[in-house]
Structures are given as structure tokens and as C-alpha cells.
């Protein structure tokens, strides 16, 4: 079986404990590789390597233009290795190969974008109100960045942090999810091939409850960039606060997908399907609450069921599969328990609502795409993140009721509205409480714009032209070319 070590200081490093854990293929249920089980001692080693690389100043001082060149080469190599990287991710989390291969190529785009921005972000000269004094603002890297990432899109969600952090001249220690570590180790190896100095990008693998705290509280960590669930996110936030470390947190959601009566229903129904059944609903931005105008409710539900009946569910390695397995056994249990909760709360199961079994479902880690109607927004199925292919449907009478239900959640990651009326779309875009609002589309993301949450969905933003600022200090420099202070006891 293939074995993956930590990647520290430009090379594979065996865990100091000598222990490894298996990583499983969700479709077959079988282990396909083993991963180094990190300890706080391994964390120390990775952090020391990143700190030494930062202090050596090679990466931050080679000029931003040169950093951009190396990151572009890194992106070229990601494209060259995209099929192999995609295959690893598909084996690890069971995502469709059809989706993953595009997603890995998109990872390269993040590096091209921030490679380009590296030497195009400048400081400022300030028109300071002190005669004879020159003041400017410059931006400097923070130092060692700790990136902690989840299993649902391992390379992509790491790239959202890694690309701007590296472009800004930082060094990074990544801890990928214990379920999906292998692709990150391969990525770090490719980075060295591209010319990144050793120690600039390290990967330490292991369990959140065993090494997460050691990473977040590490004295050399200058910022924590975390993507994951609410429980982990809160723990990271508390630990970081106690150590006075800044964070960005990209957490969960319960995003409303609102279809108004004047929408293009064909397109809206496709948006609902990709929003909640794409990636088997295992995305932070899943459109898990469908809000339908009363007049179109039955029509939309009938169309959704028609599409789901024809969906090809099975082996994610096949290009024509449309719905794949659930990534982990514990996630499967969690989804099934929410289905039970919804039934006991009185929601009507209009489609699905059970585990799929049969030879086409491999080891059986599958849930039928599920639709609950007659959901009330105060039910748990409407308020808590399921992270699976389970849709909660509610109806509304008018725009104000739709907005009230849409915003009545403690999350605020994303929201969508479907309408052919420009004025109404802008009204909704203004009033939906979410970091991303889609009008007549769903699940669109891009390195060129920002992503992040309102309310309990997170703190800070990733992506877009300002993302490097999340990984930079702002320094104000005062220069007095010809000092001439008469009275040093009085503030000048």
C-alpha cells in the first residue's frame, strides 16, 4: 500500500511517533494508502522549517516578480499533473471524477491569478501633515501561516489560502483533513519541482483533535486560515484568541435558494439540482433550503423528482456518473440521522429518504437524493447543516415573506434568487444576508471575486484582488531626511 509521510523542509519526513493511519476509498470502502499520524513534535518540526525559511528572507526578498514566476511554474505543473491529482482526490473523498478534474485545473488558475497580482499590489505614499517628513505605507508578509482544511474539496480550498499567502511572501504549514491528505502531499512535492525554496510550503498530516491545537497555539504561527465545520471553527477561534492570533474562518451554511414565480423554471430547477445534489450535497455552499413561490411549488417539485429519477448514481470514477458516494461512514450516519429527524419533525418525504444498497453502490456508502416538503423554517432540518443530498422545501406568498424565511438562519454563507425581473433581483441581492448572492445561477465561484460568510458562516474573506491583504502587515514608515527637532520633550 502506498505510504504518505509529512512533507517538511522540502522532503518527505516520517512521523516521529512512527504511526500511520489508513485513508479509504468511499466507493469501495477499502484503504488505498496510509498517512503519517502527526504529533505536536511533528508540528514543531514543520513550524520551525517554515520559520527558518521565512527568516532566511529568500522567498520574501527574491522580488515579487520572481515569486510570481515561480508560482506560474507551479501552476503549469499543477495543470500537467491534474489528472493524477484529480484521481487521488476522487479516491479519497469519492467526488465525481467529472467534477474533480475540472476543479483541479481550476486550482492552477488560483496560482496564475495571485502570481500575476504578486508584483501589482503596491503600497501608498501618504500626504502627511508634517513638514519635512515623508510617510509611506508598505505591505509585508506576516510570517508562518497555518492553513487547516476540510475533506470536501481538499486542493481547491487549500489553494484559496495558499496562493495569496505565498504570493505575499509568507511561508505556510498546511494541515489537510485526515480523510484527504494525499493530494496535498503531492502538491507540496510539485511545489519544490517548480522552484519554491524548501520550508516555504510544508504539510503535516494527522487528526484535528491530536495536532490542531498545537498548530493553532504554536508560538511561531502568525495567522490561522481555517475552513471546516462549526465545532472545529469555534475551537480554532477560541484557541487563536487566547494566543492573540488573527484568523480567517470559512465555515458552514444553510443557504436559501429562492425561486420567484416569474423565474425561468427550467433553468431554476437545474440550479436547484446542482445546488444541493452536486457533490452529493457535501459542499459548504449547498442550496439546502429551497424556497418556492406557492404558485410554482408543485410544478418545481414534480420536475425535480423527474430529474432525480433519471440520475445516474454510482461509481464516481466513471465519467457519466452524476451522484457519487458519501465521503465517510460518519458523514453517512449523520445524513441518515437528519433524515430521521426530518421525518419525526413532521416534514413530508417527497423523494428518497433512505440509504442506497445494491452492487452498483460499491460498499454502500450512498444516500438517495432526498426531498422534504412541508418543512417549517424552525425545524432542525431547515436550520442545521446536513452536508448531504437532502433538500428542505418551503413555500412563500410574497417577496417579503421569502426574504424573511431566507434570512431567518444563523448562517449566511450564500443565497440565490431566480427571477427574470432585474429590479426584483437587485432588491433580493441587497437584502439577502449572505457573503455570496447568486441571481439565476448557483455554486459559481472564482478566484477573481471574494467568498466568505455573514453571521455564523465565518470571519473574513478569501479570493479576489484583496486576498493578499489577509496575509500582510501594513507598516507605516516615517522618514525625516533632515532632522531638526528643537525641543525633544514636546511631541512634534
- Catalytic positions: 161, 250, 284, 462
Distances, alpha carbon 372 to alpha carbons 141, 338, 356, 403, in Å: 48, 11, 17, 20
- Find, among 401, 429, 392, the residue nearest to 286 by Cα: 392
> Which residue, 175 or 443, has its beta carbon nearer to ligand NAD?
175
Question: Cα–Cα distances in Å, from 246 out to 35, 139, 146, 375, 473?
Answer: 29, 16, 11, 39, 11
CB of 87 to ligand NAD, least distance (A): 21
State the minimum distance, in angstroms, from the CB of residue 150 to ligand NAD: 3
Q: Is 220 in the site for ligand NAD (CB under 6 A)?
A: no
Binding letters toward ligand NAD, positions 445-464, x by CB under 6 A: --------x----x------
Stretch that binds ligand NAD, among 60-68, 196-204, 251-259, 373-381 (CB under 6 A): 251-259
Q: What is the nearest approach in angstroms of ligand NAD to the Cβ of residue 64?
A: 27
Least separation in angstroms between residue 478's CB and ligand NAD is 39
The nearer residue to ligand NAD, 8 or 414, going by C-beta atoms, is 414
Task: Give the Cβ contact number of residue 40 at 10 Å.
Answer: 16
Is residue 413 at the binding interface for ligand NAD, with CB under 6 A as the rule? yes
Q: What SS3 state is found at 343?
A: helix
**Of 176 and 314, which CB lies nearer to ligand NAD in the complex structure?**
176
Contacts of 294 (CB under 8 A, 6+ apart): 395, 396, 397
Return d(Cα 376, Cα 490) in angstroms, integer. Answer: 67
CB 135 within 8 A of CB 127: no
Q: Which stretch binds ligand NAD (CB under 6 A): 108-116, 197-205, 225-233, 402-410?
A: 225-233
Q: Count of CB atoms within 10 A of residue 39's CB? A: 18
Q: Compute CA distances 360 → 111, 202, 261, 420, whole Å.
A: 38, 39, 39, 41
Q: Indicate whether 385 belongs to the interface with ligand NAD (CB under 6 A).
A: yes
CA distance to 54, 250, 441, 450, per residue, from 228 (Å): 27, 6, 24, 18
Report which of 216, 218, 258 is spatially closest to residue 233, judged by C-alpha positions.
216
| Closer by beta carbon to ligand NAD, 48 or else 284 | 284
Task: Give the number of other CB atoms < 10 A from CB of residue 251.
Answer: 27
List the one residue out of 310, 396, 11 whose CA is nearest residue 185.
Answer: 11
Cα(207)–Cα(95) distance, integer angstroms: 21
Smallest distance, ligand NAD to C-beta of residue 152, A: 5
Pick the closer one to ligand NAD by CB: 282 or 419. 282
- 148 contributes a contact to ligand NAD by CB under 6 A: yes
Q: Considering only residues 160 through 189, tell me which ones interact with ligand NAD, judged by CB under 6 A.
A: 175, 177-178
Establish if 7 lies at the interface with ligand NAD (CB under 6 A): no
Q: Which of 390, 433, 440 is nearest to 414 (CA)?
A: 433
Cβ closest to ligand NAD, residue 169 vs residue 287: 287
Q: Which of 68, 86, 94, 150 binds ligand NAD (CB under 6 A)?
A: 150
Which of 432, 458, 388 has its CA nearest to residue 161? 458
Residue 437 near ligand NAD by CB under 6 A: no
Instruction: Tell me how far apart the alpha carbons of residues 110 and 116 are, in angstroms, rounded to a whole number.
Output: 10
Q: Which is nearer to ligand NAD, 64 or 414 (CB)?
A: 414
Instruction: Answer yes or no: are the C-beta atoms of 185 and 205 closer than 8 Å.
Output: yes
Contact flag: residue 287 with ligand NAD (CB under 6 A)? no
Decide if residue 38 touches ligand NAD (CB under 6 A): no
Which residue stretch of 92-100, 249-257, 362-370, 473-481 sits at the interface with ligand NAD (rule: CB under 6 A)?
249-257
Contact between 212 and ligand NAD (CB under 6 A)? yes
Q: Which is nearer to ligand NAD, 314 or 460 (CB)?
A: 460
Question: Quick check: 26 binds ligand NAD (CB under 6 A)?
Answer: no
Which 337-366 positions form the footprint of ligand NAD (CB under 6 A)?
Answer: none
Burial 404-440 (b: 16+ CB within 10 A, else e): ebbbebebbbbbbbbbeeeebbeebeebbbbbbbbbe
- By CB under 6 A, residue 412 contacts ligand NAD: no
Residues with Cβ within 8 Å of 456's Cβ and at least 6 positions away in sequence, in order, are 230, 251, 252, 410, 411, 412
Q: How many CB atoms lie within 10 A of CB 401?
A: 15
Span interacting with ligand NAD, options 52-60, 104-112, 195-203, 232-240, rule CB under 6 A = 232-240
* 213 sits near ligand NAD (criterion: CB under 6 A): yes
Taking residues 257 to 286 in sequence order and writing x for each that binds ligand NAD by CB under 6 A, - otherwise, the string is: ---------------------------x--
85 or 285, CB closer to ligand NAD? Answer: 285
The contact set with ligand NAD (CB under 6 A) reads 148-152, 157, 175, 177-178, 207-209, 212-213, 216, 227-229, 232, 235-236, 250-253, 284, 385, 387, 413, 453, 458
Amino acid at each position: 500500500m502506498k505510504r504518505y509521510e509529512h512533507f517538511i523542509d522540502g522532503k518527505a519526513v516520517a512521523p516521529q511517533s512512527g504511526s500511520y493511519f489508513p485513508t479509504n476509498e468511499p466507493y469501495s470502502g477499502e484503504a488505498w494508502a496510509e498517512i503519517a499520524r502527526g504529533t505536536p513534535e511533528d508540528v514543531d518540526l514543520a513550524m520551525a522549517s517554515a520559520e527558518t525559511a521565512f527568516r532566511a528572507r529568500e522567498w520574501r526578498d527574491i522580488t515579487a516578480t520572481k515569486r510570481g514566476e515561480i508560482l506560474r511554474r507551479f501552476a503549469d505543473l499543477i495543470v500537467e499533473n491534474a489528472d493524477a491529482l484529480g484521481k487521488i482526490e476522487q479516491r479519497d473523498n469519492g467526488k465525481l471524477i467529472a467534477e474533480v478534474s475540472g476543479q483541479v485545473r481550476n486550482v492552477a488558475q488560483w496560482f496564475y491569478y495571485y502570481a500575476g497580482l504578486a508584483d501589482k499590489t503596491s503600497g501608498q505614499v501618504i500626504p502627511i501633515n508634517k513638514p519635512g517628513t515623508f510617510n509611506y505605507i508598505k505591505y509585508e508578509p506576516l510570517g508562518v501561516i497555518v492553513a487547516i482544511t476540510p475533506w470536501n474539496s481538499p486542493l481547491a480550498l487549500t489553494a484559496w489560502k495558499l496562493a495569496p499567502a505565498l504570493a505575499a511572501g509568507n511561508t505556510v504549514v498546511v494541515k489537510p483533513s485526515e480523510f484527504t491528505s494525499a493530494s496535498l502531499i503531492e502538491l507540496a512535492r510539485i511545489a519544490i519541482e517548480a522552484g519554491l525554496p524548501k520550508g516555504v510550503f510544508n504539510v503535516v498530516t494527522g487528526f484535528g483533535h491530536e495536532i490542531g491545537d498545537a498548530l493553532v497555539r504554536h508560538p511561531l504561527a502568525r495567522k490561522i486560515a481555517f475552513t471546516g465545520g462549526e465545532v472545529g471553527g469555534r475551537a480554532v477561534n477560541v484557541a487563536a484568541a487566547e494566543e492573540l492570533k488573527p484568523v480567517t474562518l470559512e465555515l458552514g451554511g444553510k443557504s436559501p435558494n429562492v425561486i420567484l414565480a416569474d423565474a425561468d423554471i427550467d433553468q431554476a430547477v437545474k440550479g436547484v439540482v446542482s445546488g444541493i445534489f452536486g457533490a452529493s450535497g457535501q459542499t459548504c455552499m449547498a442550496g439546502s433550503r429551497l424556497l418556492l413561490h406557492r404558485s410554482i411549488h408543485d410544478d418545481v417539485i414534480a420536475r425535480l423528482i423527474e430529474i432525480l429519477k433519471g440520475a445516474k448514481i454510482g461509481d464516481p470514477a466513471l465519467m457519466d456518473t452524476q451522484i457519487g458516494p458519501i465521503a465517510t461512514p460518519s458523514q453517512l450516519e449523520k445524513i441518515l440521522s437528519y433524515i430521521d429527524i426530518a421525518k419525526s419533525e413532521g416534514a413530508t418525504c417527497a423523494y428518497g429518504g433512505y440509504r442506497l444498497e445494491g452492487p452498483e453502490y460499491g460498499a454502500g456508502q450512498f444516500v438517495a437524493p432526498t426531498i422534504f416538503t412541508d418543512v417549517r423554517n424552525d425545524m432542525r432540518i431547515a436550520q442545521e447543516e446536513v452536508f448531504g443530498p437532502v433538500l428542505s422545501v418551503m413555500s412563500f406568498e410574497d417577496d417579503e415573506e421569502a426574504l424573511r424565511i431566507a434570512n431567518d438562519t444563523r448562517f449566511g454563507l450564500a443565497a440565490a434568487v431566480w427571477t427574470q425581473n432585474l429590479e426584483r433581483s437587485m432588491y433580493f441581492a441587497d437584502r439577502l444576508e449572505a457573503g455570496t448572492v447568486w441571481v439565476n445561477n448557483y455554486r459559481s465561484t472564482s478566484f477573481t471575486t471574494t467568498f466568505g460568510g455573514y453571521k455564523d458562516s465565518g470571519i473574513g474573506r478569501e479570493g479576489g484582488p484583496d486576498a493578499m491583504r489577509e496575509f500582510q502587515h501594513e507598516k507605516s514608515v516615517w522618514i525625516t531626511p533632515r532632522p531638526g527637532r528643537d525641543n525633544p520633550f514636546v511631541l512634534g
